C-alpha cells in the first residue's frame, strides 16, 4: 500500500509539472486504478473476475473517453466486474447505478422474486412496497432484463455471488430513475410511483417496549455525535431488564464511532475481530482488533441485535462483535455481506476517489464477516407480525 501511494504521488507530481493531453491523462488514471485493484483489492484472487480481460477491454475505452462523464462510466464498468458492494467512486453521473444494497431485498421462492426487506427511509418504503410483494419491473423495464444488463461480463466461471449482485443492482436502480416499481400483490399487478422523497430516519431513536425491554435504533455509525446520543439513551434505559439494538438499514460508518458504543456493553478490554490485508498474490498474516470498555457504567443486561440485508459494513462489524463477545444474540435475516474494511485512492488527474474492500474482517473463531448469520433467523414473510424481527426478539427475551 505504501509503494502504491508513493507511485501515485509521483504520478501526481508529474501531472503538475507537465499536464498531459486528455487521452494520456485518462490512460494514466486508469493505470493507477488498475494498480490499486491489483495491489490492494482483498478478493482479487477468489473472485471469478478475469481482471486481465477487464483491463484489456476497458483501458482503451478509458483512454478514448470523450469527456469526464464517459471516463467515469468506464471506471464504474470496471468496478462492476468485481461485483462488490464496497466498490464505488466518490462521484457519479445522473445515470450512474446506485451502490448496493439499496431500496429492496428480494428472495426467490417458487420462481418468484419476493420482497423480504424494505430499506428504511428509501423511496420503496415511501411508495408503499410491502413484504411479500413480487417485484416485476423498475421504471417499466422487466426485472429480468435489468438483471441481464447488470450481470458482470468478464468472469472465468459462473458465480452465484455475481448473480446476486446483479439482482441487487437491478433493484437499486439508477440515480436518475423515476422510482417506479411494478409489483404483483395478492394476484393483482400494481404500479407504485414515487411522489415525494422519503425522509431519513433520525440517527438514534429509542423507546420502551413491553415487559420492560428497551429499544435503541442506530441509523449509522458515520457521525461521532451518535456516541453522546447513545450515552443519553442508555441513561434513560438503565433500569430495563433487556435491550433491543436495531441496526436494520444501518448504513455503516467508522470504527471510531462504533467502538465507543460497543464499549458501553463491556467490562474489560477484549478482542472483537481479526483482520488482514493484501500482500502480493494473497493476504498477509492476520492481526487482532480490540475494543475498550467506556463510560461511567456498563449495560450488563441481555441484548438482542436486529439485522437485515441493509445492515451494512460497520453495522455488520458491530453485530459481529457483540455476538462474538457473548454480549448479544442476533435476530433477523442475512446481512449485507460486506466483509472488509475499505481503502481509497485518488486518481492523479481526474481526482476521482476509488473505494475498494481492502482489509477483510473475521470473527474471533476465524470465519469471514461476510458469512455472519443470525442466532435466530426469521422468515419475514411468515405473516406472524407487522414487524417479525422485533416480534422474534421479544419472544427470545421472554
What pLDDT score does 373 carry? 95
Cβ atoms 305, 245 nearer than 8 A: yes
What pLDDT score does 385 carry? 84
The fourth-level CATH superfamily of domain 104-193 is PDZ domain (2.30.42.10)
Domain extents in the chain: 2-89, 104-193, 204-337+372-397
CATH architecture of 204-337+372-397: Alpha-Beta Complex (3.90)
Q: What pTM, to 2 d.p., does this model score? A: 0.91
Buried/exposed code over 199-234 (b: 16+ C-beta within 10 A; e: otherwise): eeeebbebeebeeebbbbbbbbbbeeebbebbeebb
What pLDDT score does 20 carry? 77
What pLDDT score does 280 carry? 86
Residue 368's CB is within 10 A of a number of other CB atoms, namely 15
State the 10-residue block means of pLDDT for the chain, 398 residues long.
48 54 96 97 96 98 97 98 97 96 95 95 91 96 97 97 97 92 96 78 92 96 96 98 97 96 98 95 94 97 98 97 98 96 96 97 96 96 88 95
The answer for 256, left when phi > 0, alpha when psi is -120 to 50, beta otherwise, is: alpha
What is the rounded CA–CA span in Å between residue 356 and residue 343?
6
What pLDDT score does 198 carry? 63
What is the rounded CA–CA span in Å between residue 57 and residue 81?
12
CA dihedral 193, 199, 203, 204 (to 10 degrees): -90
Amino acid at each position: 500500500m505504501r509503494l502504491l501511494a508513493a507511485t501515485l504521488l509521483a504520478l501526481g507530481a508529474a501531472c503538475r509539472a507537465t499536464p498531459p493531453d486528455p487521452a494520456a491523462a485518462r490512460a494514466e488514471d486508469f493505470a493507477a486504478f488498475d494498480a490499486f485493484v491489483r495491489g490492494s483489492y482483498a478478493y482479487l484472487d477468489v473472485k471469478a473476475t478475469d481482471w486481465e480481460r477487464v483491463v484489456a477491454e476497458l483501458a482503451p475505452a478509458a483512454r478514448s473517453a470523450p469527456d469526464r462523464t464517459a471516463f467515469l462510466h468506464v471506471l464504474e464498468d470496471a468496478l462492476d466486474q468485481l461485483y462488490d458492494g464496497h466498490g464505488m467512486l466518490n462521484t457519479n453521473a445522473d445515470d450512474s447505478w446506485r451502490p448496493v444494497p439499496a431500496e429492496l431485498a428480494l428472495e426467490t421462492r417458487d420462481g418468484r422474486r419476493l420482497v423480504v426487506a424494505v430499506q428504511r427511509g428509501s423511496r420503496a418504503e415511501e411508495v408503499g412496497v410491502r413484504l411479500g410483494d413480487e417485484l416485476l419491473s423498475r421504471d417499466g423495464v422487466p426485472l429480468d432484463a435489468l438483471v441481464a444488463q447488470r450481470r458482470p461480463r468478464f468472469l472465468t466461471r459462473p458465480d452465484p455471488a455475481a448473480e446476486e449482485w446483479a439482482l441487487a443492482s437491478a433493484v437499486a436502480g439508477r440515480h436518475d430513475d423515476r422510482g417506479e416499481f411494478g409489483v404483483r400483490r395478492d394476484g393483482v399487478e400494481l404500479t407504485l410511483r414515487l411522489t415525494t422523497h422519503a425522509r431519513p430516519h433520525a440517527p438514534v431513536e429509542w423507546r420502551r417496549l413491553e415487559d420492560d425491554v428497551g429499544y435503541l435504533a442506530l441509523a449509522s455509525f458515520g457521525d461521532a455525535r451518535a456516541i453522546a446520543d447513545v450515552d443519553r439513551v442508555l441513561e434513560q434505559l438503565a433500569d430495563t431488564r433487556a435491550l433491543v439494538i436495531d441496526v436494520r438499514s444501518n448504513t455503516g460508518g467508522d470504527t471510531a464511532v462504533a467502538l465507543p458504543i460497543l464499549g458501553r456493553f463491556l467490562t474489560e478490554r477484549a478482542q472483537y475481530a481479526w483482520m488482514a490485508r493484501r500482500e502480493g498474490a494473497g493476504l498477509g498474516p492476520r492481526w487482532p482488533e480490540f475494543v475498550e470498555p467506556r463510560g461511567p457504567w456498563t449495560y450488563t443486561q441481555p441484548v438482542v441485535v436486529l439485522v437485515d440485508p441493509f445492515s451494512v459494513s460497520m453495522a455488520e462489524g458491530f453485530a459481529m462483535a457483540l455476538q462474538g463477545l457473548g454480549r448479544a444474540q442476533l435476530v433477523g435475516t442475512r446481512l449485507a455481506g460486506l466483509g472488509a474494511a475499505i481503502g481509497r485512492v485518488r486518481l492523479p488527474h481526474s481526482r476521482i476517489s476509488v473505494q475498494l474492500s481492502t482489509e477483510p474482517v473475521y470473527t474471533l473463531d476465524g470465519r469471514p464477516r461476510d458469512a455472519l448469520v443470525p442466532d435466530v433467523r426469521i422468515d419475514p414473510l411468515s405473516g406472524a407480525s407487522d414487524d417479525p424481527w422485533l416480534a422474534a426478539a421479544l419472544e427470545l427475551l421472554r
